[in-house]
Structures are given as C-alpha cells and as structure tokens.
A and B are shown apart, each in its own frame.
Chain A
Amino acid sequence: ILNVEQSPQSLHVQEGDSTNFTCSFPSSNFYALHWYRWETAKSPEALFVMTLNGDEKKKGRISATLNTKEGYSYLYIKGSQPEDSATYLCAPNSGGYQKVTFGTGTKLQVIP
C-alpha cells in the first residue's frame, strides 16, 4: 500500500484567485498517477492520467505537473470559479500491484 499525502487538506479561495495543491507519493516503483475531481453528491471523475517524469497536462483552467524522481505532483487551477469547488483526489499507481491508492484529497471551496 502506497503512502500518499495530499496537502492542504482543505482550501478556501476567492473567485478569480489561482491556487495549487500537492500530491506526494513514494518515488520507487512508480507507474502512473491519476487526478480525480469529486464534487459533492456526485461520483469522482477523472481529470488526468500522468505517466512520465516531467509530464504536464492541461484541461481548460486546470493543469497538472508530475515529478516521478522526487515523488510529487502539483495541480493548478487558474482563475478559480465556484464550479471548481470539489475534492481533488490524487491516486498513484504502484504498477506491479495493479491497484490505485487514493490520497485523502484536497477539499477546495471557491467563494463567490
């Protein structure tokens, strides 16, 4: 079981602010990392799957970077909007065990 840490646990930002949060994981035996967004009363939805060191993915105002050598990934949200309010989960995959371990998430609230 991987030790996955996400920080901060929760975050309040004003509408229009940019923000970022971190997912840390053991760098050994790394294969892929998933980011999911989990809105209240909905199912988690995939944002990105990242596999290579230095990967950078972008979807609209949301982007993510990956550093597999030091074991972290950043998720950035530019110009936060109320609809970005959700819990953001990261999930590194330990490859050989073929299972995804989720962090406890960062709960983002964007204040209008």
Chain B
Amino acid sequence: EAGVTQSPTHLIKTRGQQATLRCSPISGHTSVYWYQQALGLGLQFLLWYDEGEERNRGNFPPRFSGRQFPNYSSELNVNALELEDSALYLCASSLGQLLLNTEAFFGQGTRLTVV
C-alpha cells in the first residue's frame, strides 16, 4: 500500500512568486494536514482538510491557502513568497476526521527554498 506522497521533493522559487505543493494521502484517508518546519523551529500546524472542507488553520497569513480535491489529495499554495517561507513542508493523512485516537502518517516533505 502506498504511503503519503508529496511532490515536488524540492522547489526553488524567487521572492514574490507563488508555490504549489501537492499531497496524496493514503488510500481511504479523508483527512489531510499540512505542517511547516522552518530551520530551528518545530513543526507548525498550517491547515487541516477533511472531506473537501477546510476544518482548521494555524496562525499563518492568508497567503497560505490550499484545497482538498474529491479524491482527497490536497494542494498547498503559498502566494507572494517571502524568504522566511523557506522550510520543509510536511503533509500527513489520517483515517477519519479526527486525529484524536488515530495516527498521522507523514509524507517525506517538500523542501521549499525562496531566494
């Protein structure tokens, strides 16, 4: 069974551009979570999607947005890129809406570098 897959693995963008990151959850998982790990910091919660709807978002500006498609895959968009957006972006999926008593399964991440 395929795990959570993310693409691209690496992405280099110029300040002011837009970046699009993609995530395919484990088959059957309806919830997708996005996290950011900037250098020296812990994982910061970005967004949670379930059944195509945005359920929650962390303390990030509106230029961080995304969506979940009918097949439960998800896209994270970062507009007007800033240098401090350089980070590892991790996607995770879980079975069902809640993460409370289920595990999150993570992808290997997309390393975004803004120059």
Which A residues are closer than 8 A to B by beta carbons?
Answer: 1, 4, 31-32, 34, 36, 41-46, 49, 51, 89, 91, 93, 95, 97-105
Determine if B3 is an interface residue (Cβ-Cβ < 8 Å): yes
Point out the residues of chain B lying under 8 angstroms from A45, CB to CB.
Answer: 106
Chain B residues lying within 8 Å of A31, measured Cβ to Cβ, are: 100
Contact check, B100 vs A98: say whether CB atoms are below 8 A apart.
yes
- Beta-carbon nearest neighbor of B40 in chain A: A104
Q: Distance in Å from the Cβ of B34 to the closest Cβ of chain A?
A: 11
B76 at the interface (CB under 8 A from A): no
Residues on B close to A: CB < 8 A? 3-4, 33, 35, 41-45, 48, 55-56, 58-59, 90, 92, 97-109
Known contacts: A104-B41, A104-B42. The answer to whether A99 contacts B58 by CB under 8 A is yes
Task: Name the residue of chain B whose CB is nearest to the CB of A5.
Answer: B42
Most chain A beta carbons < 10 A, residue from B33, B44, B92, B104: B104
A102 cross-chain contacts in B, Cβ below 8 A = 35, 42-45
How far is the CB of B18 from the nearest CB of chain A, in Å? 25
In the complex, what residue of chain A is closest to B106 when comparing beta carbons?
A43
5 A-B pairs (CB sep. < 8 Å): A31-B100, A43-B3, A43-B4, A45-B106, A98-B56
Q: How far is the CA of A46 from the CA of B3 in the complex (A)?
A: 13
Distance in angstroms between the alpha carbons of A103 and B104 in the assembled complex: 15
Report Cα–Cα, A32/B106, bound state, in Å: 19
The reply to whether A98 and B90 contact each other, CB–CB distance below 8 Å, is no
Once bound together, how far apart are the Cα atoms of A46 and B95, in whole Å?
Answer: 14
**Given A32-B101, A34-B104, A43-B4, A89–B43 Cβ distance below 8 Å?**
yes
